[in-house]
Amino acid sequence: MLRTNKVERPEPGVAHAPGAAGPRGDVDAPLLRLGATAGVVGVVLQVAMERLHPHHVDPNQSAAVFREYAHSEHWTAVHLGQFLGTFLIVFALVALARALSRQPGVAGALAVAGGVAAVIVGAVFAVQMAVDGVALKAAIDSWAGAATPGDRSSAFHVAESVRWTEKGLAGFFQTINGMTLFSLGLSMALGRSFPRWVGWVGVTAGAAFVAGGISTAHTGFSAASGTLLMPATLLLVVFLGGVFTTMWRRGSTR
C-alpha cells in the first residue's frame, strides 16, 4: 500500500486553549510585543511629562493658573511629550483590540468597538494638546505682556475662552477614554484570551472615567471631577500593567 506523510493542520474555527500559541497567535505575536513595548514607553513618558508640568495651584482658578503657566519655560515641549506618550499607549490598545477581535461573538465585537474608540481618543487628545500646549500658552503670554489694564483685561478673556475650550476637550477625552477601557475590558472579561480579572479592572476604570469626563464637561477641572478621576487613574495603571504584561508573554510564546 502506498503511504504518504501528511502534516496535520488545524481546522478552521477550532479554538485553541487560552494562552496557547496557535496560527492566529503567531500572526499577532510581533504586534503584541511591539504594542507592549510601545505602551510601557508611553506610560513612562507620560509620568515624566507629568512631573515637568506645572500644577501647584487650583486648576479651576484661571488667574492663578495663568500666572503659573506664564513662567513655564518648557510648556510646548511638555505637551508634545504628553501627546507622544498617549499616542504610544493608543497604539498598544489598538494592538490589543486586534488580538481580542479574533474572539468569537460579543467579545470580538466589543474589541472592534474598543479599537475604534481608541483611535478617537488619540485624535481628541491631539486637538486638546494643540489647544493647551500652543494656543493657550500664546494667549497667556499675550495677557502677561499686555501694556495697559484694558489690553490685559481683553487678553485675559481670550485666554479664559481658550482655557474652557481645553476643559471641554478634556471632558470628551476622558469620556471616550472611559468608553475605550470599558469596551476592551468587557471584551477581555467575556472572552478567554486574556486574564478576566484584568478585564474587570478595565471595565471599572472605564466607568469611572466616563463619570469623570461628564463631571469635567460640566464643572471644569473641579474637585468633584478629581474625586472621580483619581481612582480611575489608579485603576488604569493596574489595567495597563496587566495588559502589557500579558501582551508581551503571549507575543513571546511559540
Q: Which residues contact 229 (CB under 8 A, 6 or more apart)?
A: 174, 208, 209, 212, 216
Q: Given this model, what pLDDT does residue 146 score?
A: 85
- Walk along the chain (254 residues) and give the pLDDT tens digit of each residue: 444 444 444 444 434 444 433 434 456 888 999 999 999 999 999 999 988 887 778 888 888 888 888 887 788 899 999 999 999 999 999 999 999 999 999 999 999 999 999 999 999 999 999 999 899 999 998 998 888 888 889 999 999 999 999 999 999 999 999 999 999 999 999 998 889 999 999 999 999 999 999 999 999 998 999 999 999 999 999 999 999 999 998 877 65
The residues spanned by each domain of the chain are: 26-240
SS3 14: coil
Q: Which residues contact 91 (CB under 8 A, 6 or more apart)?
A: 35, 38, 39, 42
Q: Taking each helix axis from N to C terminus, what angle separates 23-52 and 223-252, rounded to the nearest 10 degrees? A: 140
**Could you give the CA distance from residue 133 to residue 173 in angstroms, rounded to a whole number?**
16
Q: Given this model, what pLDDT does residue 11 score?
A: 43
Cell of 134: 500652543
Cell of 85: 506618550
Q: Given this model, what pLDDT does residue 27 score?
A: 62
Q: Which residues contact 79 (CB under 8 A, 6 or more apart)?
A: 49, 129, 132, 133, 134
User: Rounded to 5 degrees, what are φ and ψ at 222?
Assistant: -90, 170
Sole residue written with cell 495603571: 237
Q: Given this model, what pLDDT does residue 15 score?
A: 42
Cell of 234: 489608579
SS3 217: helix
User: Rounded to 5 degrees, what are φ and ψ at 60?
Assistant: -95, -5
User: Rounded to 5 degrees, what are φ and ψ at 16?
Assistant: -95, 160
**Could you give the CA distance from residue 137 to residue 130 in angstroms, rounded to a whole number?**
10
Q: Given this model, what pLDDT does residue 253 score?
A: 64
**Could you give the CA distance from residue 171 to residue 152 in angstroms, rounded to a whole number?**
28
